[in-house]
């Protein structure tokens, strides 16, 4: 891969990072929202670096470049080869370098693979993970380790909502409470959840699911609730459901699926951030 | 000489820009005609190639984007893009920092901070790993530039292992994920630091410099610091970045293809479960700042197995192996990765038995 190709690859890669963050919200399909500013910064750096490399190369400057003025030229060859000057001396410098340092100015074939993310962004534009991931992951991750010393307070909308008022919870928060809240504070409270529909292959009803992400889609964890009292909507369509927790009998910890009794449900356009 | 190639059919005099002048002058000056022709033609070819790629992507975007509906393929593409994009800021940050180390920090500065004797330098490097917030994508190029600047390879490698394992962000992430279990944070810190330092000492004793392939430091005499910075950054992005994509491809494929239920069937076996989570850490290549959240979700496994997941992940994984191969060469990786795995596992079992 020669230097022009390297420079252009960097420009395209930076453009991909910028396209998915600035004019669109595509990046939210892949990484946490907090990555946005860092992706923009990385994109700008790559575009600038790529342009500098291409400019330096088409001007026929090998490793000596237009930033010469930053430091005083210490070698006569540099001074004579300044941009428009005698290109002769410059070329010798470049080729002499190319011979002993080929490893350095040419990148290995594997660098072409940097075009794959570019291709992915511009051609495929991968959507957020959805029902396929939920179905192929099978059961939920299981309850978190039981911790007797845990502070019984939950920091979610339910603990703040006034009694009788509907609380809007993340599905993750709902599942967490359904598993470990021995006080059963959720019982008989009106709760609102938002997620996408996933058919239940093994039994009746369907799941309202949402993926929880710590950093990027590679670490996504499935959270889902079972709904049996409404007909299954179209797979991957997004819904906000209002209803109550179906309180299980016995030890909460042994529950494998959390059921939800719906009172009303309403289709929503995709929320801007598909993950919790 | 100016009509050397079909691409440059226009007489050069009509192209007043520096672009054409650069090519022509080059051709005129170099004695054998072939020498002058090839770089020029190749450059033109490169520009045409990229024009073609961009056009193809535009058509692909217009025609195929809606046709790509295979669920498994899309999930794979999402995870591949996610890993690439998540690593990108860290890669650029690490590469910029390592280029700055090469270009702006004089070699004497390292002498002052890092002991000369390699066996003393190793623990110092391990402890200083706790200072650099970043994930493993950042530390590979930084370790490369440390070695180039004359730091003992063993110390630089210890830093390479310790920085992504025990830096403050990773420790905070672990504390958040394992809320109410401070012993897990302590165990992770101790086991990772122990493994990094022991690996460094083993490298001091048995490591050989010729296993490491570092590109010759091609600082052109007289090149300004900014040129060195630019060249170093370009070089590192091309090498480490290319292999990062290889690692992301492999990790995305395994992430989609290996069903998690397989893992749950072995969760009960004491030793096997530790090995399985270590293997999972290698295959999934999750960023070290996120792996605690994944570890805590693997609830069927023992604490020691989760510890293995968090100790092995930052020091050996597919993405890291590929990136190390890009920076240090395969001769290095085939020795270093197994060493890290074995020492990391031993350290996990020891600390797991003591603390968890």
* Chain A residues near residue B216 by CB distance under 8 angstroms: 100-101, 103-104
Q: How far is A256 from chain B (nearest CA, A)?
A: 13
Residues of each domain in chain A carrying CATH 2.40.50: 131-268
Residues of chain A above pLDDT 90, percent? 21
DSSP character string of B265-318:
HTTTSHHHHHHHHHHHHHHH---TTTHHHHHHH-TTS-HHHHHHHHHHHHHS-H
Predicted confidence band of residue A139 (pLDDT cuts 50, 70, 90): low
Predicted local distance difference test score (pLDDT) of residue A143 = 62
Does residue B323 register a pLDDT over 90? no
B11 CB burial (10 A radius; 0-12, 13-18, 19+)? exposed
Tell me whether B74 touches chain A (CB under 8 Å): yes
Q: What one-character DSSP code corresponds to residue A216? A: B
Predicted local distance difference test score (pLDDT) of residue A153 = 63
Residue among B39, B10, B7, B12 at smallest CA distance from B24: B12
Distance CA B78, CA B71 (A): 10
* Chain A residues near residue B313 by CB distance under 8 angstroms: none
Share the mean pLDDT of chain B.
80
Mean pLDDT is lowest, of A67-76, B17-26, B30-39, B41-50, for A67-76
Mean pLDDT is lowest, of A136-145, A170-179, B45-54, for A136-145
End-to-end, the C-alpha distance of chain A in Å comes to 41
A159 CB burial (10 A radius; 0-12, 13-18, 19+)? exposed
Distance CA B143, CA B149 (A): 10
3-state SS assignment for residue A168: strand
Share the mean pLDDT of chain A.
77
Task: Mutate one of A33, A41, A106, A123 to test the B interface: name it (highest B CB count within 10 A).
Answer: A123
Predicted local distance difference test score (pLDDT) of residue B217 = 54
Predicted confidence band of residue A116 (pLDDT cuts 50, 70, 90): very high
Does residue B232 register a pLDDT over 80? yes
Interval A7-29 mean pLDDT: 93
Contact in structure between A37 and A22 (CB atoms under 8 Å): no
Q: Which two tokens stand for residue A148?
A: 């007797």
Mean pLDDT is lowest, of A145-149, B147-151, B301-305, for A145-149
Instruction: Pick A141 or A98 by higher pLDDT.
Output: A141
- Encode burial over B49-73: b for 16+ CB neighbours within 10 A, e otherwise: ebeebeeebeebbeeeeeeeeeeee
* C-beta atoms of B260 and A57 within 8 A: no
Predicted confidence band of residue A190 (pLDDT cuts 50, 70, 90): confident
3-state SS assignment for residue A239: strand
* C-beta atoms of B224 and A104 within 8 A: no
Strand partners, A194: A240
Q: Which of A157-161, A230-234, B312-316 has the highest mean pLDDT?
A: B312-316
Distance CA A132, CA A236 (A): 9
Does residue A273 register a pLDDT over 50? yes
Minimal Cβ distance to A126: which of B57, B74, B177 = B74
Predicted local distance difference test score (pLDDT) of residue B310 = 93
B 182-221 residues inside an 8 A Cβ radius of A:
215-216, 218, 220-221
Predicted confidence band of residue B27 (pLDDT cuts 50, 70, 90): very low
Residues of chain B above pLDDT 90, percent? 24
Does residue B218 register a pLDDT over 70? no
Does residue B264 register a pLDDT over 60? yes
Tell me whether B13 touches chain A (CB under 8 Å): no
Predicted local distance difference test score (pLDDT) of residue B183 = 93
C-alpha separations of B108 from B123, B125, B149, B213, B215 in Å:
20, 17, 9, 23, 21
Residue among B267, B263, B270 at smallest CA distance from B300: B267
Does residue B12 register a pLDDT over 50? no
Predicted confidence band of residue B11 (pLDDT cuts 50, 70, 90): very low
Distance CA B314, CA B289 (A): 9
Does residue B40 register a pLDDT over 80? no
Distance CA B51, CA B82 (A): 27
Q: Which two tokens stand for residue B126?
A: 């391990």
CATH class assigned to A131-268: mainly beta
Complex prediction ipTM: 0.80
């Amino acid at each position: 891969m020669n230097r022009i190709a390297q420079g252009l690859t960097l420009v395209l890669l930076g453009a991909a990072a910028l396209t998915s963050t600035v004019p669109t919200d595509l990046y939210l399909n892949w990484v946490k929202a907090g990555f946005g500013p860092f992706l923009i910064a990385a994109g700008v750096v790559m575009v600038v670096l790529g342009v500098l490399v291409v400019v330096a190369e088409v001007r026929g400057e090998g490793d000596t470049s237009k930033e010469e003025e930053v430091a005083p030229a210490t070698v006569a060859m540099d001074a004579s080869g300044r941009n428009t000057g005698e290109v002769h001396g410059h070329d010798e410098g470049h080729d002499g370098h190319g011979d002993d340092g080929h490893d350095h100015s040419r990148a290995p074939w594997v660098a072409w693979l940097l075009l794959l993310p570019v291709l992915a962004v511009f051609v495929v534009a991968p959507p957020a993970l959805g029902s396929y991931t939920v179905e192929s992951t099978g059961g939920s991750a299981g309850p978190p380790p039981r911790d007797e010393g845990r502070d019984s307070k939950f920091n979610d909308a339910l603990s703040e909502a006034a009694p009788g008022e509907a609380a809007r919870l993340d599905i993750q928060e709902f599942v967490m409470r359904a598993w470990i809240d021995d006080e059963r504070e959720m019982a008989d409270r009106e709760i609102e959840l938002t997620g996408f529909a996933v058919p239940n292959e093994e039994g009746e009803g369907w799941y309202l699911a949402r993926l929880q992400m710590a950093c990027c889609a590679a670490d996504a964890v499935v959270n889902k609730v079972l709904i049996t009292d409404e007909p299954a909507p179209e797979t991957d369509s997004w819904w906000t459901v209002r209803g109550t927790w179906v309180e299980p009998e016995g030890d909460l910890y042994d529950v494998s699926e959390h059921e939800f009794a719906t009172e009303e449900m309403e289709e929503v356009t995709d929320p801007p951030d598909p993950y919790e | 000489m100016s009509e050397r190639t079909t691409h440059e059919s226009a007489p050069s005099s009509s192209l007043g820009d520096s672009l054409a002048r650069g090519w022509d002058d080059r051709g005129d000056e170099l004695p054998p005609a072939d020498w002058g022709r090839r770089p020029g033609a190749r450059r033109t070819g490169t520009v045409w190639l990229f024009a073609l790629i961009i056009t193809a992507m535009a058509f692909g975007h217009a025609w195929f984007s809606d046709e790509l509906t295979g669920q498994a393929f899309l999930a794979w593409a999402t995870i591949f893009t996610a890993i690439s994009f998540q690593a990108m800021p860290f890669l650029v940050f690490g590469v910029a920092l390592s280029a700055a180390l090469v270009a702006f920090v004089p070699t004497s500065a390292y002498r002052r901070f890092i002991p000369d004797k390699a066996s003393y330098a190793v623990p110092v490097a391990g402890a200083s790993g706790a200072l650099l917030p970043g994930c493993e994508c950042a530390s590979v190029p930084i370790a490369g530039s440390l070695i180039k600047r004359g730091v003992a390879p063993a110390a630089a490698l210890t830093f390479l292992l310790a920085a992504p394992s025990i830096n403050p962000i990773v420790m905070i992430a672990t504390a958040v994920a394992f809320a109410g279990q401070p012993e897990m944070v302590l165990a992770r810190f101790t086991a990772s630091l122990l493994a990094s330092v022991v690996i460094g000492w083993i490298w001091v004793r048995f490591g050989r410099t010729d296993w490491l392939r570092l590109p010759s430091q091609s600082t052109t005499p007289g090149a300004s610091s900014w040129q060195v910075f630019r060249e170093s950054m370009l070089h590192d992005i091309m090498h480490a970045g290319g292999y990062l994509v290889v690692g992301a491809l492999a990790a995305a494929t395994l992430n989609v293809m290996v069903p998690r239920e397989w893992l749950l069937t072995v969760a009960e076996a004491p030793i096997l479960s530790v090995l399985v989570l270590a293997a999972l850490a290698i295959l999934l290549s999750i960023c070290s700042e996120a792996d605690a959240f994944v570890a805590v979700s693997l609830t069927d496994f023992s604490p020691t197995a989760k510890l293995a997941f968090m100790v092995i992940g930052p020091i050996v994984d597919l993405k890291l192996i590929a990136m190390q191969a890009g920076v240090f060469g395969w001769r290095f990786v085939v020795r270093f990765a197994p060493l890290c795995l074995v020492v990391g596992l031993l350290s996990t079992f020891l600390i797991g038995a003591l603390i968890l």
